[in-house]
Amino acid sequence: MAHQAPLKYIFYIAATPEKVWEGFVSRESNRIIFSGAELQADFKPGGLLAWVGAGPDGKPITYVRGKVLWFEPPRVFQYTFAMGQNDKASRATIELVPEIEATKVTVTHDEWAEDDPTYAACADGWPRILSRLKTLLETGKTFKPH
């Protein structure tokens, strides 16, 4: 199978880096941007993190788990990333840079195993998550399906 290219997304969010950072790490915003999943994390290098939510049967399941690699508020949040029961971990790096009118958010998801089956889900998921976060921080609203 071909080597998986890094996924890279750049968004500009009209909020301070501190507010955007809070959006990435707070339990409240994570429940919104990750469709109800609860972020459980020990925010220090080597600390474990997981997004846990109700599965189809209502029992809790871990959607994503990882380990904190770099945690420097409100600039850099980097962690390993393994989805579901997948035993292959990749790496996600969130970087925030203040600009005049907004915070530049760069997400780089790399170090993929060649046969990681979650690559396509992440390629689809990151733009959705970042769009939800942008909407939440800029308007206070979230999308509610009919």
In a domain, residue 15? The reply is: yes
In a domain, residue 62? The reply is: yes
Looking at residue 50, its pLDDT comes to 96
Looking at residue 4, its pLDDT comes to 87
Residues with Cβ within 8 Å of residue 113, at least 6 apart in sequence: 4, 88, 89, 90
The reported pTM is 0.92
Task: For residue 55, give the CATH number of its domain.
Answer: 3.30.530.20
Q: Which domain holds residue 88?
A: 7-139
Per-residue pLDDT tens over the stretch 29-85: 999 888 889 999 999 999 999 999 988 898 999 999 999 999 999 999 999 999 988
Domain count for the chain, please give it.
1
Q: Name the band, by pLDDT with cuts 50, 70 and 90, for residue 143.
A: low
